């Protein structure tokens, strides 16, 4: 994304770019900027992550500041605005998921000229059908499930694979479909343990002695709740819960009711690592170049997006709503039609 942004910006418009390091932290803390030039963005197309660094706990409007032995949240957005003025920025390009883009939108309400670019593996932004990072993560999940098949089949086990995505099941749905999971459990459908057991039993009766269950980190049983590793605010500056452990919860619920041995694999940050796949490289390149159309049109407070296969623009405020899997959509309907259980 940065490569395309800088290449077009320099070549076509003669812009200069300053990279803000570690996300919004770089606007609050000193000495966290770097020049972004044609040479600094060379050869990064095939790299995962970002050369700028990032943070998901550095919201200038609620910034965690250490006071003695504890942290307090301070509104430091004025510090960030002063920093942008000192850097003589004409505009800010915010790249990230809902947290980043919500903060970006708030800055526009304080007169800052911001445009956005949607990037998250979760694909859960309502302003766009596609965020870059998602396809690469689906590829990792699909490969992981392929590999789990070996042990599942040889040992005749139930393999539970826990997948990221927060409150949205897109990664689990697509990764599960691509990997051939037998059961797909997503946050949008609280699961019934007995239905999952029935699916495993039905597989056995049909001659398949193993099962692969893809479960979102945000999935939970009917009557239960999401498995949380850290509550919002427990990690200083982090305003959202840290999910994790849904696979273990499911395995414990299944264990007394299933004959086969159960194993849990948590894919974790492997899903966010490695070289981006071709479609993510293409999307990031298109988004990076196109964000400058917004700048040229003075259309601040907007982001680039993909809707129904077309590159478009959306108001930044739209990214505030979380997008979740459409349960009446084709992917869920057709997955069900080939016998995949959603635990309901």
> By beta-carbon distance, which residue lies closest to ligand F6P?
164
Q: Does 142 bind ligand F6P (CB under 6 A)?
A: no
CB of 241 to ligand F6P, least distance (A): 9
Between residue 45 and residue 104, which ones bind ligand F6P under the rule CB under 6 A? 56, 97
CB of 13 to ligand F6P, least distance (A): 32
Q: Does 144 bind ligand F6P (CB under 6 A)?
A: no
CB of 163 to ligand F6P, least distance (A): 9
Closest CA to 37 of 8, 10, 14: 10
CB of 335 to ligand F6P, least distance (A): 21
Distance between the two ends of the chain, CA-based, in angstroms? 40
Q: Does 280 bind ligand F6P (CB under 6 A)?
A: no
Per-position x/- string for 189-218, each x denoting binding to ligand F6P as judged by CB under 6 A, each - no binding: ----------------------------x-
Per-position x/- string for 145-164, each x denoting binding to ligand F6P as judged by CB under 6 A, each - no binding: -------------------x
Could you give the CA distance from residue 183 to residue 164 in angstroms, rounded to a whole number?
16
CB of 164 to ligand F6P, least distance (A): 3
For residue 18, the cross-strand partners are 35
Task: Decide whether 221 or 237 has the Cβ nearer to ligand F6P.
Answer: 237
- Kindly indicate which of the ranges 77-85, 117-125, 254-262, 300-308 contains the residues binding ligand F6P, using the contact rule CB under 6 A: 117-125
Q: Does 242 bind ligand F6P (CB under 6 A)?
A: yes
CB of 130 to ligand F6P, least distance (A): 15
For residue 303, the cross-strand partners are 116, 314
Residues 135, 279: contact at Cβ < 8 Å? Answer: yes
* 122 part of the active site: yes
Choosing from 31, 75, 90, 122, which is the catalytic residue? 122
Q: Does 243 bind ligand F6P (CB under 6 A)?
A: yes
Q: Which residues are tagged catalytic?
A: 122
- Site residues for ligand F6P per CB under 6 A: 56, 97, 120-122, 164-166, 217, 242-243, 272
């Amino acid at each position: 994304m940065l490569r395309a942004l800088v290449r077009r910006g320099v070549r076509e418009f003669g812009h200069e770019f300053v990279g803000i390091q570690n996300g919004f932290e770089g606007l609050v803390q000193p000495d966290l900027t770097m020049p972004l030039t044609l040479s600094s963005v060379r050869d990064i197309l095939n790299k995962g992550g970002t050369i700028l660094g990032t943070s998901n706990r550095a919201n200038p409007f609620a910034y965690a500041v250490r006071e003695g032995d504890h942290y307090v949240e301070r509104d430091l957005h004025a510090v960030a605005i002063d920093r942008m003025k000192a850097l003589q920025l004409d505009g800010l390009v915010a790249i990230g998921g809902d947290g980043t883009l919500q903060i970006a939108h708030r800055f526009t309400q304080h007169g800052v000229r911001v445009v956005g670019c949607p990037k998250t593996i979760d694909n859960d932004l309502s302003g766009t059908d596609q965020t870059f990072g998602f396809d690469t993560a689906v590829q990792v999940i699909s490969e992981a499930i392929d590999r789990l098949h070996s042990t599942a089949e040889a040992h005749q086990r139930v393999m539970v694979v826990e997948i990221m995505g927060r409150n949205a099941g897109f990664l689990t749905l697509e990764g599960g479909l691509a990997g051939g999971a037998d059961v797909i459990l997503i946050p949008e459908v609280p699961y019934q343990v007995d239905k999952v057991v029935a699916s495993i039993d039905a597989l056995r009766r049909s001659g398949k002695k193993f099962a692969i269950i893809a479960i979102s980190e945000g999935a939970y049983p009917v009557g239960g709740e999401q498995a949380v590793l850290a509550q919002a605010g427990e990690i200083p500056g982090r305003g959202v819960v840290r999910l994790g452990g849904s696979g273990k919860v499911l395995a414990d619920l299944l264990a007394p009711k299933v004959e086969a041995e159960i194993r849990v694999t948590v894919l974790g940050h492997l899903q966010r690592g490695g070289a981006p796949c071709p479609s993510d490289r293409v999307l990031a390149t298109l988004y990076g170049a196109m964000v400058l159309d917004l700048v040229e049109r003075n259309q601040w407070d907007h982001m680039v997006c993909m809707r129904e296969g077309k590159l478009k623009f959306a108001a930044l405020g739209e990214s505030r709503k979380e997008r979740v899997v459409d349960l009446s959509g084709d992917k869920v309907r057709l997955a069900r039609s080939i016998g995949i259980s959603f635990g309901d």
